[in-house]
A and B are shown apart, each in its own frame.
Chain A
Amino acid sequence: AQSVTQPDIHITVSEGASLELRCNYSYGATPYLFWYVQSPGQGLQLLLKYFSGDTLVQGIKGFEAEFKRSQSSFNLRKPSVHWSDAAEYFCAVGGRGGSQGNLIFGKGTKLSVKP
């Protein structure tokens, strides 16, 4: 069955520290991969996406993610976290197969940033 797992419900990092948010997926077809961010009281905004080609993708706000097919992962990274990065982050998988309109979201990881 298609699924997306974000193992960490809540992560706290210090401002200036590096960040990695984990995402693992199970998807029968060739996946399209997305990371979205939701700031408090806001809708979801796309951070970055992977469709094909270079497995390291750059996004907005200094984020990047790497697609590792062998590990079925698409982890989100940022070298130095800013206080404004405090938000909830959602990984999503889409493509030609699957249910829910061919798009499945993880349950999210809430990021807190310590000063």
Chain B
Amino acid sequence: GAGVSQSPSNKVTEKGKDVELRCDPISGHTALYWYRQSLGQGLEFLIYFQGNSAPDKSGLPSDRFSAERTGGSVSTLTIQRTQQEDSAVYLCASTTRGQGAVGELFFGEGSRLTVL
């Protein structure tokens, strides 16, 4: 499709299980972001990928969270040993980069994670 695609749209899991969230960015976009949005909260930056550079992981809340981006395209966010406080909507966005600067972000509709 033409937009950012995220899957699953909804995920319910039990505390302690691992989950994987997938993001398919817009073709040709070199930069990819993951954000977390908890109920009533703003956007919490998690991780940022730009081309072949090392990702900026400064927003990951704990070592239970990790992400990878294969072939400069699809990205997977993994949460190990999920906790109830991980319940949130996880948003992915992609963009082009020009002259080192960020452009407009295109967001997916998010993956809603519920940890029971």
Which A positions have Cβ atoms within 8 angstroms of B?
A: 32, 34, 36, 42-46, 49, 90, 92, 94-96, 99-108
Contacts and interface: CB of A to CB of B under 8 A. Distances in A.
Contact of A101 (B4, B50, B109): B50
Q: Name A's interface SS.
A: strand
B116 interface: no
B65 interface: no
A33 to B, nearest CB: 11
A107 B41 contact: yes
Interface in B1-60: 4, 31, 33, 35, 41-43, 45, 48, 50, 56, 58-59
Contacts of B41: 107
Contacts of B45: 100-101, 104-105
A106 B102 contact: no
Given A44-B91, A90-B43, A101 B100 contact: no
A107 B58 contact: no
B101 A94 contact: yes
B65 to A, nearest CB: 15
Contact of B107 (A32, A44, A104): A44
Nearest to B58: A99
The residue among B33, B58, B91, B107 with the most chain A CB atoms within 10 A of its own CB is B107
Given A95-B102, A96-B99, A102-B102, 12 more contacts: A43-B4, A44-B107, A49-B104, A99-B56, A101-B56, A101-B102, A103-B33, A103-B102, A104-B45, A105-B42, A106-B42, A107-B42
